[in-house]
Structure 1
């Protein structure tokens, strides 16, 4: 897996020096989704700080105001009848407005959304869908595929039968109709994060599996994802800093404290990519002048071969 690539408007490290490793969130609207929260808490408590530097400091978020344990599971909507897993673009719910403000402040590179499947019964116990792969900037797809495949490998090594797609029959309740890749619109988290040039990991444990299995698999997915991101970061000797909103621009401003050394655990982008390319074509009789430059170039003058003088525009 290559290092996480450069993305637009990334800020590297969050306030208070916390590294931008995966922020795990649980949707709550799905019956049984509470195991994602238990797996998340268990993962945080067992994180090995030497094996996963900074993971114990990972900010964990939950958006499940209508979920109250595995017995009182609630339903897909809040008390205002708003489904938070359909509210990323409209942001009608105050809970989603708070979530989006938190995402804007932290700007995580990778987020995980922990769900439970609906519908059919089968052997696989978890599916992993990562975007951008089918959505978003094509330059991010290769890393998304590598992250998905690496996480699938980790889960398989721990006894799971993971899938790279959501196992919903093409025709509802007809297994013989087969399966298809799902491309999510931005109202869902899986479609929303690619619009921000960020990665999202949709974890769907299988609702027909027993509760202990779903907690274990959720735990394995969260820790495995944290391991992948932590493995592709570097330790950089910096200073403590804070990020507050500027009273002038309203945007976050970094203020450093040079009296307090601090280790930053941040992604390292070790390769360079062309931001823009253009194919050059020669004009008949021209030497060293491409078509796009001809409008600004003067007539050819005598000189060394393959050299042409150009007149600077006024």
Structure 2
């Protein structure tokens, strides 16, 4: 009896577990450290079978990348989750660790979704996957100064990773181990909706939260319709109901947002939501405003994530149907856009809550400077330009053939779950070959590369010999769009654009002019048509006519001595029949 009473007394007196996050324990202007974040999720993992914390790869700094899976029945196997017809919401935090609101919000969200009965119901047909902190490298570099324009928190991480890369430009090129780990994790889960949490820079306005949704014209039409007519309106309405109204991301040309209006953000595949779009995943980038206090920013991130999970739960069947239709239609799609431009003739009106932009004299330069007058708020209609038109498109090939020499490219294809087959024997094929006709290159490095743009190609039908073990990527697979936008050189974020094929841009052989002069003269004697071409160039182009070196170079390029591989893009388009593959 005494033992029973003692046990009861200890039970009554034992304090309840404190499940407050480091942010909640702070003063409202602090964010968790990486160690505190992972330790908190470990506690949740130990206390709740519905939560699993596990390593999902490594990062450039040598620390593991973690994933958190929140699932009512504890099922954390992606294939099993898909068989159960559950929708997957994938949340990534801390790609820029100086923008940490999502890190703190997701910790509270994971806890609440297992502790609160009303929230648990939302997970009956939804599995929640969270990357607690993606840029582990930058999160370990704590400081209070590098976000010069930001109102808290007191300390935070750094934007660059251990290689000083901006990871939100690395999704296609995958220079970082972080990005390679992400690609594998994303491909395992194949989420229905993806969210990347951020803090915005730029203009001042009344909103705490702005939103980048996958650009509607780049998203598959079926998913675009679902996004713009169902999911996005529900999220905007829900945030307004919670007293945190949103507006599209405040990207604009001109002095202030109301001067010319807002314009949509074209997230190409270097960005997270540009990459996820290639696989028919709807993406969002949440951007809480840098000048608002930290606590309301965390609350806005929490509210958005909560509303998203609730709506996916409520509308799971329609979302699943839209993605299934998009996948089916992708297999029949014949034309693929590669580059886009904003349509400045097409705009919708949106109601925008801003502050008047005014001018006063700078105390630094003595020149006029912009400032936003928070005592002069306004709500007025402004233009929103969010229609983009394709500027370059390509017809779908049957397959691409990738020589095995280009291993860096093959590695990235595999990380993104591209189904590759290999030639079983040496074979000569007449294929569609590209020559790089023209391109421009940035004069300064961008994220570790000299980026090519305005790429023009000249297609030719040409017999080429391929070797046993070369790779074949057929387009009848889920990664079809990814293949087109990485392997077509004209695409904005193609592997060619990022410099993975720069070796083909340099000649390996040349000539001595005093020797080749006689060879060129003999060529002209034997080929009257070539002589006529040379004479026409001399007539039409005075600069060419006055340059002996330019004319001799022209003759060299028409001769059998000129190497056929110069400027020849090594990945070829196959439009024929069956290939000898394993």
Shorter-normalised TM-score: what interval? 0.5 to 0.7
Alpha-carbon distance in structure 2 between the residues aligned to 1:41 and 1:152: 23
The answer to whether the Cα contact below 8 Å between 1:132 and 1:140 also exists between their aligned partners in 2 is no
Q: In 2 relative to 1, CA 208–95 (structure 1 residues): closer, same or farther, beyond 3 Å?
A: same
1:64 CA displacement: 2.3
Of 31, 42, 45, the residue aligned with 2:108 is 42
Residue 60, structure 1, aligned to residue 130, structure 2:
yes
Residue 230, structure 1, aligned to residue 313, structure 2:
yes
Aligned to 2:250: 167
Of 83, 93, 109, the residue aligned with 1:26 is 93
1:132 CA displacement: 5.2
- Partner of 1:202, secondary structure, is strand
1:173 CA displacement: 6.7
Is the helix fraction higher in 1 or 2?
A: 2
Is the strand fraction higher in 1 or 2?
A: 2
Which structure has the larger Rg over C-alpha atoms? 2
Residue 151, structure 1, aligned to residue 222, structure 2:
no
Of 99, 106, 126, the residue aligned with 2:182 is 99
Alpha-carbon distance in structure 2 between the residues aligned to 1:104 and 1:123: 38
Aligned to 1:311: none
Q: Deviations over 1:152-181 (max 9, x none)?
A: 111010001201x21133147776343211
Alpha-carbon distance in structure 2 between the residues aligned to 1:174 and 1:126: 15
Alpha-carbon distance in structure 1 between the residues aligned to 2:139 and 2:325: 45
1:21 CA displacement: 2.3
Alpha-carbon distance in structure 2 between the residues aligned to 1:14 and 1:267: 18
Aligned to 1:86: 169
- Partner of 2:197, secondary structure, is strand
Q: In 2 relative to 1, CA 180–14 (structure 1 residues): closer, same or farther, beyond 3 Å?
A: same
The answer to whether the Cα contact below 8 Å between 1:205 and 1:218 also exists between their aligned partners in 2 is yes
Equivalent residue pairs, number: 231
Q: In 2 relative to 1, CA 131–233 (structure 1 residues): closer, same or farther, beyond 3 Å?
A: same
Alpha-carbon distance in structure 2 between the residues aligned to 1:224 and 1:22: 12
Q: Which segment drifts farther, 129-138 or 186-195?
A: 129-138
Alpha-carbon distance in structure 1 between the residues aligned to 2:226 and 2:123: 20
1:182 CA displacement: 1.4
- Partner of 1:136, secondary structure, is coil
Gaps in structure 1 of 5+ consecutive residues: 1-12, 235-265, 278-314
Alpha-carbon distance in structure 2 between the residues aligned to 1:99 and 1:222: 20
Alpha-carbon distance in structure 2 between the residues aligned to 1:143 and 1:174: 28
- Partner of 1:49, secondary structure, is helix
Alpha-carbon distance in structure 2 between the residues aligned to 1:171 and 1:87: 29
Alpha-carbon distance in structure 2 between the residues aligned to 1:204 and 1:195: 22
Q: Which segment drifts farther, 153-162 or 63-72?
A: 63-72
Moved over 3 A (4+): 15-20, 68-72, 171-178, 270-277
The answer to whether the Cα contact below 8 Å between 1:21 and 1:230 also exists between their aligned partners in 2 is no
**CA RMSD of superposed structures (Å):** 2.8
Residue 141, structure 1, aligned to residue 237, structure 2:
no
Matches within 5 A, 1:152-231: 152-163=236-247, 165-171=248-254, 176-231=259-314
Q: In 2 relative to 1, CA 82–268 (structure 1 residues): closer, same or farther, beyond 3 Å?
A: closer
Q: In 2 relative to 1, CA 272–166 (structure 1 residues): closer, same or farther, beyond 3 Å?
A: closer
The answer to whether the Cα contact below 8 Å between 2:226 and 2:319 also exists between their aligned partners in 1 is no
Alpha-carbon distance in structure 1 between the residues aligned to 2:100 and 2:211: 18
Q: Deviations over 1:162-211 (max 9, x none)?
A: 01x21133147776343211111110012111111111011111111100
The answer to whether the Cα contact below 8 Å between 1:34 and 1:67 also exists between their aligned partners in 2 is no
Query: TM-score if structure 2 supplies the norm length?
Result: 0.37
1:79 CA displacement: 1.6
Alpha-carbon distance in structure 1 between the residues aligned to 2:80 and 2:89: 16
Q: Deviations over 1:223-252 (max 9, x none)?
A: 111111111236xxxxxxxxxxxxxxxxxx
